[in-house]
Chains A and B, each alone.
Chain A
Amino acid sequence: MTIKGKAYIAGIYEHPTRHAPDKSTAQLHAEVAKGAIEDAGLTKADIDGYFCAGDAPGGVMNMVDYLGLKVRHLDSTDTGGCSYLIHLGHAAEAIAAGKCSIALITLAGKPRTGPMPPRAAGAEADFETAYGATTHNAYGMCAMRHMHDYGTTSEQLAWIKVAASHHAQYNPHAMLKDVVTVEDVLNSPMISDPLHRMDCCVVTDGGGALIVTTPEIAKSLKKPLVRLIGHGESTKGPRGGKDLDLTHSAGLWSGPRAFEEAGVTPKDIKYASIYDSFTITVLMQIEDLGFCKKGEGGKFVADGNLISGVGKLPFNTDGGGLCSNHPVNRGGMTKIIEAVRQLRGEAHPKVQVKNCDLAIAHGTGGLLGVRHAASTCILERA
Chain B
Amino acid sequence: MMAEAKKYPAPLTNPETALFWEAAKQGKFMIKRCTDCGEPHYFPRSICPFCFSDKTVWEEASGDATIYTFSLMRKSATGPYAIAYVTLKEGPSLQTNIVDCDMDKLRIGQKVKVVFKPTDGAPLPFFTPV
A, B from the same assembly: yes
Residues of A within 8 A of B (CB): 123-134, 136-138, 140-145, 148, 189-195, 238-242, 244, 246, 369-370
Smallest Cβ-Cβ distance to B68: which chain A residue: A244
Given contacts A126-B13, A126-B17, A130-B8, contact A137 B92 (CB under 8 A): no
A-B interface, 4 closest residue pairs, ranked by CB to CB distance from nearest: A241-B92, A140-B71, A240-B41, A127-B43
* Chain B neighbourhood of A190, CB < 8 A: 72, 74
* Chain A neighbourhood of B14, CB < 8 A: 126
Q: What does the 1/0 interface line of B72-93 toward A look like (CB < 8 Å)?
A: 1111101001011101100111
- The answer to whether the Cβ of B111 comes within 8 Å of any Cβ in the partner chain is no
Given contacts A125-B12, A131-B95, A133-B95, contact A242 B71 (CB under 8 A): no
A141 touches B41 (CB 8 A): no
* Chain A neighbourhood of B92, CB < 8 A: 240-242
In the complex, which of the residues B13, B83, B84, B94 has the most CB atoms of chain A within 10 Å of its own CB atom?
A: B83
Q: How many angstroms between the C-alpha atoms of A132 and B69 in the bound complex?
A: 15
* Chain A neighbourhood of B87, CB < 8 A: 241, 244
- The answer to whether the Cβ of B27 comes within 8 Å of any Cβ in the partner chain is no
- What distance in Å separates the Cβ of B84 from its nearest Cβ neighbour in chain A? 7
- What distance in Å separates the Cβ of A193 from its nearest Cβ neighbour in chain B? 5
Smallest Cβ-Cβ distance to B103: which chain A residue: A193
A145 touches B108 (CB 8 A): yes
What 13 new A-B contacts, CB under 8 Å, besides A128-B43, A145-B68, A244-B68?
A126-B17, A130-B124, A132-B81, A133-B95, A136-B71, A144-B70, A192-B72, A195-B71, A241-B92, A242-B41, A242-B92, A246-B68, A369-B69
A241 touches B97 (CB 8 A): no
Given contacts A141-B84, A241-B41, contact A192 B93 (CB under 8 A): no
B124 touches A241 (CB 8 A): no
In the complex, which of the residues A138, A240, A370 has the most CB atoms of chain B within 10 Å of its own CB atom?
A: A240
* Chain B neighbourhood of A238, CB < 8 A: 85, 93-95
A126 touches B95 (CB 8 A): no
- The answer to whether the Cβ of B96 comes within 8 Å of any Cβ in the partner chain is yes
A134 touches B73 (CB 8 A): yes
A137 touches B108 (CB 8 A): no
- What distance in Å separates the Cβ of A167 from its nearest Cβ neighbour in chain B? 28
Residues of B within 8 A of A (CB): 8-9, 11-14, 17, 21, 39, 41-43, 45, 49-50, 68-76, 78, 81, 83-85, 87-88, 91-97, 108, 119, 124
Q: List 17 A-B contacts (CB under 8 A).
A: A123-B45, A126-B43, A131-B95, A133-B95, A140-B71, A140-B83, A193-B70, A193-B72, A195-B71, A240-B41, A240-B92, A241-B41, A241-B42, A241-B88, A241-B91, A244-B85, A244-B93
Q: How many angstroms between the C-alpha atoms of A133 and B85 in the bound complex?
A: 11
Q: Which of A123, A127, A144 contacts B69 (CB 8 A)?
A: A144
- What distance in Å separates the Cβ of A273 from its nearest Cβ neighbour in chain B? 27
- What distance in Å separates the Cβ of B43 from its nearest Cβ neighbour in chain A? 4
Q: Which of B43, B49, B68, B83 contacts A132 (CB 8 A)?
A: B83
A132 touches B73 (CB 8 A): yes
Smallest Cβ-Cβ distance to B98: which chain A residue: A131
Q: How many angstroms between the C-alpha atoms of A134 and B42 in the bound complex?
A: 21
A148 touches B108 (CB 8 A): yes
Q: How many angstroms between the C-alpha atoms of A293 and B69 in the bound complex?
A: 22
A137 touches B95 (CB 8 A): no
- What distance in Å separates the Cβ of A117 from its nearest Cβ neighbour in chain B? 20
Q: How many angstroms between the C-alpha atoms of A189 and B87 in the bound complex?
A: 30
B11 touches A126 (CB 8 A): yes
Smallest Cβ-Cβ distance to B109: which chain A residue: A148
* Chain A neighbourhood of B70, CB < 8 A: 141, 144, 193
Given contacts A125-B12, A191-B74, contact A131 B96 (CB under 8 A): yes
Q: How many angstroms between the C-alpha atoms of A110 and B72 in the bound complex?
A: 28
Q: How many angstroms between the C-alpha atoms of A238 and B69 in the bound complex?
A: 13
A141 touches B8 (CB 8 A): no
Q: How many angstroms between the C-alpha atoms of A260 and B11 in the bound complex?
A: 45
A141 touches B94 (CB 8 A): no
In the complex, which of the residues A190, A241, A370 has the most CB atoms of chain B within 10 Å of its own CB atom?
A: A241
